[in-house]
Structure 1
Amino acid sequence: SEGKIPRPLNSWLIFLKDFTAKIKTESNVKLCIKDISSMASKSWSNQPPQVKQFFEILGVSAKQVHTLIFPGYKFRPERK
């Protein structure tokens, strides 16, 4: 719906977005998002702490930028 503010990306979503972009450029095989997400989850589990910390920092930065763009934003999930 128009006017709906998206949630800020967290460290996992930023990692998944990066992982997906790499897989799509490096792989000739067309994979569905379910398979890519599963692969990313395994990759995330095997990442060294420095890599996870890097994405945590990106997540904090994304949240700060989101706060600047959408001051007063509060996540309010809607029931279906």
Structure 2
Amino acid sequence: SIPSSEEHTFDPTTIPYPCSSVTRPTRKSHARKQPPGHIPRPANAFILFRSDFVRKKKIPASVEHDHRNISRIAGKIWKAMEPEERKPWEVLAEEERRRHKEKYPGYRYT
């Protein structure tokens, strides 16, 4: 039989509330540990664009705070850009490669 609504009244005092001392579990980092002396790769045009995109808060944290989604959005914008719009980022990336090559002349990505 189906209980009547009179038998099941809502009592807000029976709802458990989280204790203020409860902490959220910490997330494990997915970043790999780099050996001492590891040389990072020079940033490419898209990485420079994406970094600037995040730094200028093109998407407010109140709208999106997950960097995976921010990267997806930045990627769609990047792909939709005309070659002349990408040109400044490609010039910066070339400068980055040149500085990297001067600083680490024997560097090879492996």
Give the paired residue count: 75
Deviation at 1:42, TM superposition (A): 1.4
CA distance in 2, matches of 1:42, 1:53: 17
Structure 1 outlier segments of 4+, above 3 Å: none
Task: Report Cα offsets for 1:53-79 as digits up to 9, x if no partner.
Answer: 111111111000000111110111xxx
Q: Which amino acid in the other structure matches residue 13 of structure 1?
A: I
Q: Which amino acid in the other structure matches residue 55 of structure 2?
A: A
Match of 1:39 among 48, 58, 73: 73
CA distance in 2, matches of 1:56, 1:28: 27
Residue of structure 2 equivalent to 1:55: 89
TM-score by structure 1 length?
A: 0.82
Match of 1:27 among 53, 60, 75: 60
Higher RCO (Cα < 8 Å, 6 or more apart): 1
Deviation at 1:28, TM superposition (A): 4.1
- Structure 1 segments unaligned to the other structure (5+ residues): none
Higher helix share: 1
CA distance in 1, matches of 2:36, 2:54: 27
Q: Aligned to 1:45, what secondary structure does the other structure show? A: helix
Larger radius of gyration between Structure 1 and Structure 2:
2
Q: What pairs with 1:4-23 in structure 2 (closer than 5 Å)?
A: 4-23=38-57
Residue of structure 1 equivalent to 2:106: 72
Deviation at 1:46, TM superposition (A): 2.4
TM-score by structure 2 length?
A: 0.62
Deviation at 1:48, TM superposition (A): 2.7
